[in-house]
Amino acid sequence: GRKRTAPASMTRGSTPRRLASVGEVISLIAVTYLCLTIACGIAYYLAGMTAFDALNHAMTTVSTAGFSTHDKSFGFFEDKAIHWIAIVFMLGSCMPLVLYVKMVRSKSLAVWNDAQVRGFLQIAGLAVFTVTLWYYVRHDEPFLDALRS
């Protein structure tokens, strides 16, 4: 398609910036989603899941759907590394996928200063800490096990 540029009033300096088309943004988001899913699947596989379990759990972790191939869900897997992988990828998957696209395109981590992301991480962190502390006090378990529960 035709290249579009931002009006001069929307650019820094006098060089017009190229605006991404909707199709480009959708493609980049899809590629980002696919990359997250593949990375998650590889991490699960390396942590000891079968290829079938790793693929299925990666797809539901990144989509934060929570489905499992086992009745006990993640409780079926006794390896704590698998649980931590799920936690990391679920938190990462809660971030706007456009954030990852911006991060790759700008080659900068400055996009993590986004107010939406900071707010989400603060609320999630407070909620996780509160529930973990409650679980730790109520059940005689080590703190990291309470956090993982």
The residue whose two tokens read 């972790």 is 61
Write down the mean pLDDT value for the chain: 83
- Residue range 45-63: average pLDDT? 94
pLDDT in tens, 60-81: 999 877 788 888 888 898 888 9
Q: Give me the mean pLDDT over the 123-129 stretch.
A: 94
- Rounded to an integer, the average pLDDT of 54-64 is 91
pLDDT for res 74? 84
